[in-house]
Amino acid sequence: MGGMTAFLILNTTLNSAEIVYAKDGSGVYGYKDTPKLPWCGYCVHDPDMPAPKKINPGTAGVSVLPYTPPSDAVVLFDGKDLSKWEKTGWKIVDECIEAAGGSSLTSKENFGDCQIHLDWMVPKDFKGAWYDRGNNGVLLMGLYEIQIFDSYNEKIYPDGQAAAIYGQTPPLVNACRPPGEWQTFDIIFTAPVFENGKLVKPARVTMFHNGVLVHLNQEIYGETGHRILPEYKQKINRGPLILYGHNCPVRFRNIWVRPL
């Protein structure tokens, strides 16, 4: 729920009566007063949307140190400094980037079609509200969010759990590791194509979470929003990589991008 989902705290506080639980008794919570997603028939953030099966990802996606990225990659963070990012309140702790408050971390370089790798870890003993638990986001082109969240423990709506295309498509499985353990995202992203201001080819993503396939050539239906239908408003095909904090000190390391 990073990125545009910073609205979640405000909406939860002002509209707490709107939060409902899944009919199956699973404890998954979400909303029923939101627009219906035309491609699946469920509401945005619907608790009754089929929840991905929780699996143990094993060790397939474990990223160990010392870590060496591909030779043709743009290395955005290797544990040394934040020179590839715009100035922010985020800081380096133990050779990792640690998110600060509700601010974002924005890459100086813009990307279109690309391959992205990053490691992330949610704190083991987080003390705070449920909607901040491990909450962060990877915004592709600064517009399309892949969710970071503690979905090992928290039963948030399926299109808002870790590795979801936020507000659009849940991951194929829940491959989360427990808080305090490093996790990996490997993302292959193709940017949208516009001609004369009209969308002719939507953005798509194939993605691995902890080495497990969670999206396969999945269409991205528009820019990320909270409690609204996605749409393509900005007719661009390049933008920064943004990490969006949400009042939880999520940590990052080994961040690199390969333009395609």
Q: How far apart are CA 139 and CA 75, in angstroms?
A: 17
On the question of pLDDT at 9 being above 50, the answer is no
Return the pLDDT at 1: 53
Residue ranges per structural domain of the chain:
3-259
Q: Model confidence over 10-45: pLDDT tens digits?
A: 344 334 448 999 999 999 999 999 999 999 999 999
> Would you list the DSSP string of the chain?
--GGGGHHHHHHHH-GGGEEE-TTSS--EEESSSPBPTTTSPBTT-TTSPPPEE---TTTT---SS----TT-EEEESSS--TTB---S-EEETTEEE--TT-EEEEEEEESSEEEEEEEE--TT--S-GGGTT-EEEEETTTEEEEE--TTT--B-GGGSTTSBTTTB--SEE-PPPTTS-EEEEEEEE--EEETTEEEE--EEEEEETTEEEEEEEEP-SS--SSS-----S--S-EEEEEE--SS--EEEEEEEEE-
Q: Could you report the per-residue pLDDT of 208-249, keeping only the tens digit for each? A: 999 999 999 999 999 999 999 999 999 999 999 999 999 999
pLDDT digits (tens, 9 = 90+) for 68-104: 999 999 999 999 999 999 999 999 999 999 999 899 9
Q: Is the dihedral of CA 127, 129, 133, 137 positive or negative?
A: negative
3 pLDDT tier (thresholds 50, 70, 90): very low
3-state secondary structure 184-199: EEEEEEECCEEECCEE
- pLDDT at position 95: 96
pLDDT value at 65 more than 80 = yes
The predicted model gives 51-61 an average pLDDT of: 95
Q: Report which of 119, 56, 91 is spatially closest to residue 255, judged by C-alpha positions.
A: 119
* pLDDT for the residue numbered 114: 98
Residue 161 predicted with pLDDT over 70: yes
Q: Residue 2 above 80 pLDDT?
A: no
List all residues 6 or more positions away from 63 whose beta carbon is below 8 Å from its beta carbon: 119, 182, 184, 254
pLDDT tens digits along 95-139: 999 999 899 999 999 999 999 999 999 999 898 888 899 999 999
Q: What band does 64 get if pLDDT is binned at 50, 70 and 90?
A: confident
pTM of the entire structure?
Answer: 0.93
Task: Give domain 3-259's CATH superfamily.
Answer: Exo-inulinase; domain 1 (2.60.120.560)
259 or 3, greater pLDDT: 259
